[in-house]
Amino acid sequence: MRRKYGPFSSERFVADANMMVVHDLDNEKGECEIDFIDHEHIRTFSRDRLKTAEDQNYAHCAYCINAESYIKHSWYR
Ligand SMILES: [Zn+2]
């Protein structure tokens, strides 16, 4: 679920700079524990690109990054 407030800015791809993991909030799972990430560690990406997160060495969350995430990923190539 995307969050309109604070550092999330309604973005789909949101990373935890402490854990160095990027999440897909359109496919968020309980295991992502997004609400437990300190806001100072939240990162979003230019044009909401998963590729940008990868380029910054963020690992994919094992719970929420899936094939559907990659459909959007490919739109922006
Ligand atoms: Zn996740």
pLDDT at res. 75: 58
Measured in Å, residue 27 CA sits from the centre of ligand 1 at 8
Measured in Å, residue 58 CA sits from the centre of ligand 1 at 12
Measured in Å, residue 77 CA sits from the centre of ligand 1 at 22
Cα separation of 17 and 20, whole Å?
A: 5
What's the whole-model pTM score? 0.89
Three-state SS for 13?
strand
Note the pLDDT tens digit of each residue in 26-65.
999 999 999 999 999 999 998 888 989 999 999 999 999 9
Of 12-21, 43-52, 53-62, 68-77, minimum mean pLDDT range: 68-77
Three-state SS for 21?
strand
Radius of gyration in angstroms for the set of CA atoms belonging to the chain, rounded to a whole number: 11
- For 42, how many CA atoms within 13 A lie in the half-sphere containing its CB? 21
Contact 28, 66 (CB under 8 A): no
Measured in Å, residue 19 CA sits from the centre of ligand 1 at 11
